[in-house]
């Protein structure tokens, strides 16, 4: 499998994540000093000091939220591109995986099984899928802290459908008639989803030791294509020609 990753973007955002981490600590320390400075003197705070005292905590709070989100997206292990790569080991060497080139879609896979827009979730907790929603199994306190950090699982199926639509528009320009398929992949081995309902979009694990996982899904898709084909060998054909893949890369990468 050929893997094309926007390494420059990934490295840059990881550096920004590190800067935000230390910047957040600096802002918190500065905030503590500014807020408590008036208690160390008998002088009445001037207008500038009052403004600084009022602004420092909201700024530190915003920096904290941004830092946490950037850490989850760009620095948290396992890295999504690596987890997807490991989960797809054994896939046809004709396949191509694109990482971080088609925002807001982060991962696009072209392989004999089709063209896939992949949405990942880094969360390492347990969920119940019911009535079209992912509900966390954490206790009230954990849910409260999760809400404060804005690191909830969100709406993976909605995001996957949007990702599919976005890639479909790009693909139609170079290969009309090819349908893009959406996937949701949980990349952390500790993630677990209990399905009380069947989701409209496949929800998979990157970890091959869990089920349903990405590797088994691709294997089953290949068998299904082979069964539907007039000749088994057609199951190994790519949905896009080399020229179409080159045109897709030229237009989007």
- Per domain, the residue ranges of the chain are 2-75, 80-252
Query: Which residues touch 62 (CB under 8 Å, ≥6 apart)?
Result: none
Q: pLDDT (tens digit, 9 = 90+) per residue, 55-68?
A: 777 888 888 888 98
d(CA 239, CA 216): 20
Could you tell me which residue, 17 or 140, shows the higher pLDDT?
17
Per-residue pLDDT tens digits for 138-194: 777 766 666 666 678 999 999 999 999 999 999 999 999 999 999 999 999 999 999
Q: Which two tokens stand for residue 48?
A: 């500038």
Contacts 24+ apart (CB under 8 A), 16-22: 16/70, 16/74, 17/67, 17/70, 17/71, 17/74, 17/75, 18/75, 20/63, 20/66, 20/67, 20/70, 21/67, 21/71
- Rounded CA separation 136/153 (Å): 8
Q: Determine the Cα–Cα distance for residues 27 and 87; give it in Å rounded to an integer.
A: 40
Q: What is the pLDDT of residue 59?
A: 85
Mean pLDDT confidence for 33-62:
70
Cis peptide before 104 (omega within 30 of 0): yes
CB 101 within 8 A of CB 4: yes
Q: What share of the chain is helix, strand, coil (3-state, %, to 5)?
A: 50, 20, 30
Rounded average pLDDT over 114-136:
94
């Amino acid at each position: 499998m050929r893997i094309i990753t926007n390494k420059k973007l990934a490295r840059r955002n990881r550096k920004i994540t590190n800067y935000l981490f230390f910047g957040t600590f600096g802002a918190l320390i500065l905030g503590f000093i500014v807020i408590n400075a008036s208690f160390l003197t008998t002088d009445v705070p001037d207008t500038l000091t009052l403004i600084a005292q009022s602004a420092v905590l909201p700024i530190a709070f915003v920096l904290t939220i941004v830092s946490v989100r950037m850490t989850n997206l760009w620095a948290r292990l396992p890295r999504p591109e690596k987890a997807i790569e490991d989960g797809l080991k054994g896939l046809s060497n004709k396949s191509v995986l694109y990482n971080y080139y088609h925002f807001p879609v982060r991962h696009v896979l072209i392989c004999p099984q089709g063209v896939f827009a992949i949405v990942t979730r880094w969360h390492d907790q347990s969920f119940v899928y019911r009535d079209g929603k992912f509900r966390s199994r954490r206790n009230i306190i954990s849910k409260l802290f999760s809400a404060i950090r804005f690191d909830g699982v969100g709406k993976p199926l909605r995001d996957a459908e949007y990702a599919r639509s976005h890639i479909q528009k790009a693909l139609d320009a170079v290969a009309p008639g090819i349908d893009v398929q959406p996937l949701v992949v949980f990349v952390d081995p500790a993630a677990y989803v209990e399905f009380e309902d069947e989701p409209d979009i496949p929800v998979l694990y990157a970890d091959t030791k869990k089920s349903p996982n990405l590797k088994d899904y691709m294997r089953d898709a290949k068998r299904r294509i082979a069964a539907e084909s007039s000749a088994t060998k057609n199951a190994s054909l790519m949905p896009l020609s080399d020229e179409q893949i080159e045109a897709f890369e030229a237009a989007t990468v």
